[in-house]
């Protein structure tokens, strides 16, 4: 059975986590990987319905996502979590309890995230309409030692994904493209 692993995309709302997850899913699937995406917005409507945005509820949400990621990885799949996951301690807790955890810090300056905000959430948070909004009225604690940092304000999507794929290959989670093609033949 192939070795499973978790790719944990963390960063501010609007940084590009979901966009990277979508593209990364396509690339990994083409390379023969079985991929499941746990997108923070989608998880909140199904797995974590009813949770609010207090620190305790956010931690519970992230721990649930981490548990599912570990389950996927233990069964040889690739779990991609695309969740703000603002608190370092709970991300570290998930890392400690998740097989083959690969953390990607999707770095993007707040002003760029605000400019990208199609839902208008930052405007509502800045006006005080939304309370406890990460990056505005609630903290985001960047990872201290992520496996890789991609900066979506300065890199193209293709560059960010290619860098993540190269890092996964270097770590031994993903066979090099040449090896993957030979294995599929």
Q: What is the DSSP string of 89-117?
A: HHHHHHHHHSTTEEEEEEE--HHHHHHH-
Tell me the mean pLDDT in the region 73-97. 95
- Domain with residue 119: its CATH number is 3.40.50.300
Check pLDDT > 80 for residue 21: yes
Q: Which residues are catalytic?
A: 85
Decide if 80 contacts 33 (C-beta within 8 A). Answer: no
Per-residue pLDDT of 147-160, as tens digits, reads: 999 999 999 999 99
Tell me the residue range of the domain where 131 lies. 5-184
pLDDT band at 69 (very low <50, low <70, confident <90, very high): very high
Banded pLDDT at 111 (limits 50, 70, 90): very high
| Per-residue pLDDT reduced to its tens digit, 123-133 | 999 999 988 89
Give the span between the Cα atoms of 4 and 113, in whole angstroms: 32
| Closest to 59 measured CA to CA, from 141, 122, 147 | 141
Mean predicted confidence (pLDDT) in 110-129: 92
Domain count, the chain: 1
Q: What is the mean pLDDT of residues 48-65?
A: 80
């Amino acid at each position: 059975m192939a070795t499973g692993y978790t790719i944990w995309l963390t960063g501010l709302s609007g940084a590009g986590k979901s966009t990277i997850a979508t593209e990364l899913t396509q690339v990994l699937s083409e390379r023969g990987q079985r991929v499941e995406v746990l997108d923070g917005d989608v998880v909140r409507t199904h797995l974590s319905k009813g949770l609010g945005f207090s620190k305790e509820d956010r931690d519970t949400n992230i721990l649930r996502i981490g548990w599912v990621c570990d389950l996927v990885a233990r069964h040889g799949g690739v779990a991609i979590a695309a969740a703000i996951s603002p608190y370092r301690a709970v991300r570290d807790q998930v890392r400690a309890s998740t097989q083959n955890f690969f953390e990607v810090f999707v770095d993007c300056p707040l002003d760029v995230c605000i400019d990208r905000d199609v839902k208008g959430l930052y405007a509502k948070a800045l006006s005080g309409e939304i309370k406890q909004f990460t990056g505005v009225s609630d903290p985001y604690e960047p990872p201290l030692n992520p496996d890789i940092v991609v900066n979506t304000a300065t890199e193209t999507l293709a560059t960010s994904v290619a860098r993540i794929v190269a890092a996964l290959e270097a770590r031994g989670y993903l066979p090099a493209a040449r090896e993957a093609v030979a294995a599929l033949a």
